[in-house]
Amino acid sequence: MKNIRSFLFLLLLCISGTLNAQEKSSKMSEAAREGQKMQNKLYPQTQLPFSYNYSQKIGSNNGSQQSEFAFQPIVPIKLGTDLQLLLNPMLTFNRNINYPQAINQLQPVQLATFFAPRFAGDWYIGIGPYYQAPASNNLNGSRQTGVGVSAGAFYTPDNWVLGVAMYNSWGIGSDMSGGSANILNVQPTVSYTTNDEWSYNLSSQVTFDYSARNTTNQLTLSGGKTIKVMGQHWQFQVGPTYMVSAIPSSAKGWGAFFGLTTSISD
């Protein structure tokens, strides 16, 4: 186990290049620093993000609307003095409405993991296995099991978070009634946090389906503030979304996003 940890740690150091710890700006308040951390998916502290995403014009007739509720916590586990494991389970529930019909959709459970070196620099990187459980029925998503790799890299100079998280899934199983689990998902993000606790984020969620050979790309522009309530930091984010590239079954045009995240300080 020690040899495996050492190998993973050296591999991650090679990927990240030279990692230099730099002191953050002393002008940032405590809440602003926490707000910047909550914009970093690979920061090694427990994060509990809830989000709501409204989309419209779904389906070939553009007749459906969707309310997506997601809970995607980040949970760090120390594996030694040099290595940690970040767990990122993704739980998603959709409420699809095509008047007068409404359908509840529980998406497949996903788990992204990141083996990451433990250091306090401006770079945060990680790589690990990815898993997607098969959907309970073909209306809830792919009936295939998805296995693959998840990875991420974030650069965090003063006030900024710049980086990308992704997962690549290969579908196992012949049941294609709910679609394929052969998916590449890439989520680049650019975030700026002011010294007085406001955070602004531009992110994209690009999904490529290997089997159908199509791509969707939804942009989200959001802003919000980090506040401290009864000793706990909370950050809200709100803003519009826009589907840059769509397929007949996906949402189209404008939507809306709301997020609420709290962190458990390291």
Q: What is the pLDDT of residues 21-72, one digit of tens each?
A: 334 445 889 999 999 999 999 999 999 999 999 999 998 888 899 999 999 9
Cα-trace Rg, the chain: 19
Domain contains 180: yes
Contacts of 150 (CB under 8 A, 6+ apart): 88, 112, 113, 114, 127, 128, 129, 130, 165, 166, 167, 168
Pure H helices in the chain: 2-16, 30-37
Report the CATH number at residue 237. 2.40.160.40
Residue-level pLDDT at 23: 42
Residue 19 located in a structural domain: no
Contact 155, 19 (CB under 8 A): no
Per DSSP (E only), the strands in 15-109 are 46-58, 64-71, 75-78, 83-98, 101-106
* Cβ burial 202-212 (10 Å sphere, 16+ → b, else e): ebebbbbbeee
Residue 101's domain spans which residues? 2-13+29-264
Whether 23 is covered by a domain: the verdict is no
The phi, psi pair for 4, rounded to 5°, reads -65, -45
Q: What confidence score (pLDDT) does residue 24 get?
A: 45
Q: What is the pLDDT of residue 34?
A: 94
- Enumerate residue ranges in the chain where pLDDT < 50: 17-25
CA dihedral 141, 144, 147, 151 (to 10 degrees): -20
Q: pLDDT, tens digit, for every residue of 202-227?
A: 999 999 999 999 999 999 999 999 99
Is 18 within the bounds of a domain?
no
Tell me the whole-structure pTM to 2 decimals: 0.88
User: What per-residue confidence (pLDDT) applies to 63?
Assistant: 87
Q: Which two tokens stand for residue 18?
A: 């030279």
Whether omega for the bond prior to residue 188 falls within 30 degrees of 0, making it cis, is: no
Domains identified in the chain, total number? 1
Res 261: pLDDT? 97
Instruction: Note the pLDDT of residue 216.
Output: 96
**Structural domain contains residue 20:** no
Contacts 24+ apart (CB under 8 A), 53-57: 53/241, 53/255, 53/256, 53/257, 54/241, 54/255, 54/256, 54/257, 55/218, 55/241, 55/243, 55/251, 55/255, 56/251, 56/252, 56/253, 56/254, 56/255, 57/251, 57/252, 57/253
pLDDT at 18: 41
Residue 210 within any structural domain of the chain: yes
CA 265 – CA 168 distance, rounded (Å): 30
